Amino acid sequence: MKVRPIRRLVTGVAVAALSMSMLAACGGDSGKPTLNWYINPDGQETLTAIAERCSTDEYDIEIQLLPSSATDQRTQLARRLAAEDSSTDLMSLDPVFIPEFANANWLAPFEGELADQVVDDDVLKGPAEIVQWEDQVVAAPQWSNTQVLWYRKSLAEAAGLDMSQPVTWDQIIDAAADHDGTIGVQASKYEAYVVWINSLIQGAGGNILDPSTVEDGRDAKVTIDSEAGKAAAAVIEKLAKSTAKQPDFTTSNEGTSLGAMFPEQGAGEFMTNWTFVYKNYEGLIGKPGGPKDEAQFEDLGWARYPETVEGEESRPPLGGIAIGVGAYTKHRDFAQQAAMCVTDADAQVALGVNNGFMPSRGSVYDSEELKKAFPPDLLTLFSQSIDSAGTRPKSAFYSQISSALQSRWHSPSSVGAGTPKKSADFLNQILKGEALL
């Protein structure tokens, strides 16, 4: 399913103004401008090659590395933009940063034909939605991420699960517990734990905030205290009490849960994790932490994200990166031109093939390079999961919302039927400014 792009009229006056401003950018500076592109550490080799390809006779693009954690990335960028830093030209943005940055007017919106190109009909629904704020296109989708259920085929077969059909969290927890397997999730006190909670709630038909009020800032209606919230809590509580939980359950992250798929002893795991997993294990065949040989690699299976409630379609998480242009850059037109290049089909193919970061454009899934790099059914699963993914609350206050949830849902061993109400009460207090994190 595609989202309808924002359409605008482009007048000759606007085109003329664009040309004049580009000339002004050239003529006002001494020498060839260098555009700083702040990226996170993932895929930096590929991103560096993309930056070199997208540099032109008019400007160069230079990579600047952000910290590895999403929280630290946000802090670094926010500090620069709050200070109206003119050297922040391009930014790789986690989707949850976009509403906050756009609401603060820190992002230069794409306008006219450029906006139409950024979210044209080829862009998948989820990535197209997250770059729009208050009827403006404020960033360009570069790559998309989603989670699927990774598992050992032999474990699922021993448990009698038909993985061609949707499975529930209850089913895989029971299957792992009864057949010497484990469940891999991200349950440390960090953003990925909120990603899991959000998908569990949306998979039960609910939301953390009322979608019709989510962009109302502090006036958003908190809806986590619901039957869906209780269903999400029940899944976490069940895993916390199960022998299928992994030893580092309360501090688990995307990396720690990888290690349990091909253990020296045991049946392996069911694991929800991002799209990079396939390339990760493919590169570790015969190496520590990976399958011992090609035959064991063939035992790796994949399926749709598990259902919270049997018969109710799951809502896989949505992640990825969009490219924002700093509002205070001295080279806005060049920066937006560069943003279009680093998000084009060639860039998305390279990120998919080299790093396992999936395209945000539907047509790129048909590229021959991507088809050679991934099994066809896995590519289809990725694109369908991204297109039907559930987004985290699209709020300018998301960082406070996430921290409030983490404080009441962690440790996962403490989660129970009363957790949704506790978190709703605290989140209401945070949004109304009646409590501190």
Question: Given a cut of 90, is residue 80 above it in pLDDT?
Answer: yes
Question: Given a cut of 90, is residue 11 above it in pLDDT?
Answer: no
**pLDDT value at residue 71:** 83
Question: Given a cut of 70, is residue 260 above it in pLDDT?
Answer: yes
Q: How far is CA 252 from CA 169, 183, 191, 241, 260, in A?
A: 18, 11, 12, 16, 11
Question: Given a cut of 70, is residue 341 above it in pLDDT?
Answer: yes
Query: What structural domains does the chain harbor?
Result: 34-145+319-388 (3.40.190.10), 148-316+396-432 (3.40.190.10)
**pLDDT value at residue 154:** 98
What is the rounded CA–CA span in Å between residue 431 and residue 404?
10
Average pLDDT along the chain = 92
**pLDDT value at residue 14:** 38
**pLDDT value at residue 30:** 64
**pLDDT value at residue 381:** 97
pTM: 0.89
Question: What is residue 418's DSSP assignment?
Answer: T
Give the model confidence (pLDDT) of 131-181 as tens digits.
999 999 999 999 999 999 999 999 999 999 999 999 999 999 999 999 999
What percent of the chain clears pLDDT 90, i.e. is strictly above it?
89
Pick from 337-341, 367-371, 432-436: least confident: 432-436
Give the model confidence (pLDDT) of 194-233 as tens digits.
999 999 999 999 999 999 999 999 999 999 999 999 999 9
**pLDDT value at residue 23:** 39
**pLDDT value at residue 184:** 98
**pLDDT value at residue 19:** 40
- Nearest Cα to Cα of residue 6 among 141, 120, 134, 95: 120
Pick from 8-12, 108-112, 191-195, 393-397: least confident: 8-12
Question: How much is the average pLDDT of 376-397?
Answer: 94
Question: Given a cut of 80, is residue 323 above it in pLDDT?
Answer: yes
Question: How much is the average pLDDT of 244-273?
Answer: 96
Question: Given a cut of 80, is residue 15 above it in pLDDT?
Answer: no
